[in-house]
């Protein structure tokens, strides 16, 4: 198979006279070239290329052979122009520094590939409205049929107006299900599970190391934490804020280590939990004996923390899959125009949680 293809000397054959494909590239065979070589019309080549019926097996073979000889590749620009669709999904996201975004992106790319769609990445370096607007204006020129947005919606809002009207949008991490199609993790459910687990172990209350203010995910985890405590009749301690990074978790941990009555902390993600563990360790507060810690995300490394982290598992792969399914159903005008889909979470209990210290001997 590999032997017959003229892989190394593609300039040998009868080159079509005009039309170099790109500024400096080699000319690339077109349908007309294949048709000429195969002795058929270009329409027949098109039929073979698209696997349509109505072509003799014999003709089909000949065309295939000609294609192979010339190294023919369909020109996707012409195809897109003719068909009116690009078979491409654009993904807009903030810096790929958070595990969640990356894993979601990966799942999106995989699912999209399975559906015959390509994925184009639109990075937004800094999460400012200007930057977002910039990404969207790049998008306007872009060859995409649909867009998946992985970011906070309040940044999206300002930029929305400039979206090409025919492009479908699905949003991750947002509460704007009334305006967009939203796919997200069940933040509240995961948070509830975490808080209940800690209360169930006997902790009087649970502290919360929250994500940054701008984040909807952080917001919802904090809200759910407060609600879960309130539901159990407990008083929520003051909220401590980080920025998702391990460093911010460490700084917050130094503060929390000073509170003798802090026996259980729910960190809004695993990275901050990591920093928290280090800070507690440095202050001589043992985990889980003195303090219990729970994270969120279940990044692969969390099983190797010291101690292995109890955390809320997110199914990013499922989120990505659902995003693609939703956006494609919108493109095909099958699905609903808006609404929120939640992906369930699951508590993974490891070694960073235990009963509070006072409890073994007494109360």
Partner DNA sequence: CGCGCGGATGTTTACGCAAACATCGATCAC
Partner DNA sequence: GTGATCGATGTTTGCGTAAACATCCGCGCG
Residue 110 partner contact from its own copies, DNA, none using kind-dependent CB cut-offs of 5 to 8 Å: its own copies
Residue 40 partner contact from DNA, its own copies, none using kind-dependent CB cut-offs of 5 to 8 Å: DNA
Cβ pair 151, 273 in contact under 8 A: no
Least distance to DNA from the beta carbon of 48, Å? 9
Give one word for 173, left, alpha or beta, with left for phi > 0 and alpha for psi -120 to 50: left
Cβ pair 209, 225 in contact under 8 A: no
Least distance to DNA from the beta carbon of 314, Å? 40
Least distance to its own copies from the beta carbon of 25, Å? 4
Give one word for 71, left, alpha or beta, with left for phi > 0 and alpha for psi -120 to 50: left
What span, in angstroms and rounded, lies between the C-alpha atoms of 291 and 309? 12
Residue 49 partner contact from its own copies, DNA, none using kind-dependent CB cut-offs of 5 to 8 Å: DNA
* Interaction residues for DNA, span 81-110 (CB under 7 A): 81-84
Q: What is the dihedral of CA 108, 114, 120, 124, to 10 degrees?
A: 0
Q: Which region, judged by CB under 7 A, interacts with DNA, from 76-84, 229-237, 255-263, 298-306?
A: 76-84
Cβ pair 216, 174 in contact under 8 A: yes
* Interaction residues for DNA, span 260-289 (CB under 7 A): none
Residue 116 in contact with DNA, rule: CB under 7 A: no
Residue 53 partner contact from its own copies, DNA, none using kind-dependent CB cut-offs of 5 to 8 Å: DNA
Nearest residue (CB) to its own copies, 342 versus 351: 351
Nearest residue (CB) to DNA, 74 versus 127: 74
Angle of CA points 237, 240, 245, to nearest 5°: 150
Q: Which region, judged by CB under 7 A, interacts with DNA, from 39-47, 87-95, 147-155, 201-209?
A: 39-47
Peptide bond connecting 200 to the previous residue in cis, omega within 30 degrees of 0: no
Letter string b/e over residues 34-54, b meaning 16 or more CB atoms within 10 A of that residue's CB: bbbbbebebebbbbbbeeeee
Residue 309 in contact with DNA, rule: CB under 7 A: no
What span, in angstroms and rounded, lies between the C-alpha atoms of 209 and 238? 10
Nearest residue (CB) to DNA, 70 versus 326: 70
Residue 292 in contact with DNA, rule: CB under 7 A: no
Nearest residue (CB) to its own copies, 81 versus 349: 81
Lookup: tokens for 265: 């902390």
Site residues for DNA per CB under 7 A: 16, 18-19, 21, 27-28, 30-32, 39-44, 46-47, 49-50, 52-56, 58-59, 72-75, 78-79, 81-84
């Amino acid at each position: 198979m590999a032997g017959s293809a003229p892989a190394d000397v593609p300039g040998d054959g009868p080159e079509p006279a005009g039309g170099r494909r790109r500024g400096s590239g080699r000319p690339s065979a077109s349908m007309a070239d294949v048709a000429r070589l195969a002795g058929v019309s270009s329409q027949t080549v098109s039929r073979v290329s698209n696997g349509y019926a109505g072509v003799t097996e014999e003709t089909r073979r000949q065309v295939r052979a000609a294609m192979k000889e010339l190294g023919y590749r369909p020109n996707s620009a012409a195809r897109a122009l003719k068909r009116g669709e690009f078979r491409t999904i654009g993904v807009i996201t903030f810096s790929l520094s958070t595990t969640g975004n990356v894993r979601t992106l990966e799942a999106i790319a995989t699912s999209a590939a399975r559906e015959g769609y390509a994925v184009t990445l639109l990075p937004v370096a800094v999460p400012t409205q200007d930057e977002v607007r910039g990404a969207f204006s790049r998008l306007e020129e872009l060859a995409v049929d649909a867009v998946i947005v992985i970011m906070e919606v309040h940044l999206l809002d300002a930029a929305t107006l400039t979206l090409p009207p025919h492009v479908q949008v699905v949003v991750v991490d947002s509460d704007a299900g009334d305006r967009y199609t939203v796919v997200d993790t069940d933040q509240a459910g995961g948070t509830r599970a975490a808080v209940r687990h800690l209360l169930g172990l006997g902790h009087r209350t649970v502290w919360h190391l929250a994500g940054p203010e701008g984040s909807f995910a952080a917001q919802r985890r904090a809200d759910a934490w407060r609600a879960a405590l309130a539901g159990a009749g407990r008083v929520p301690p003051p909220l401590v804020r980080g920025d998702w990074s391990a460093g911010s978790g460490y700084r917050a941990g130094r503060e929390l280590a000073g509170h003798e009555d802090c026996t259980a902390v729910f960190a809004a993600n695993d990275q901050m939990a990591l920093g928290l563990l280090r800070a507690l360790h440095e202050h001589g507060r043992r985990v889980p004996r003195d303090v219990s810690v729970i994270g969120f995300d279940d990044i692969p490394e969390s099983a190797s923390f010291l101690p292995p982290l109890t955390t809320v598992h997110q199914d990013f792969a499922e989120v990505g899959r659902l995003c693609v399914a939703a956006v494609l159903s919108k493109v095909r005008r099958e699905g609903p125009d808006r609404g929120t889909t939640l992906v369930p979470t699951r508590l993974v209990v490891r070694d960073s949680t235990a009963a509070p210290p006072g409890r073994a001997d007494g109360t």
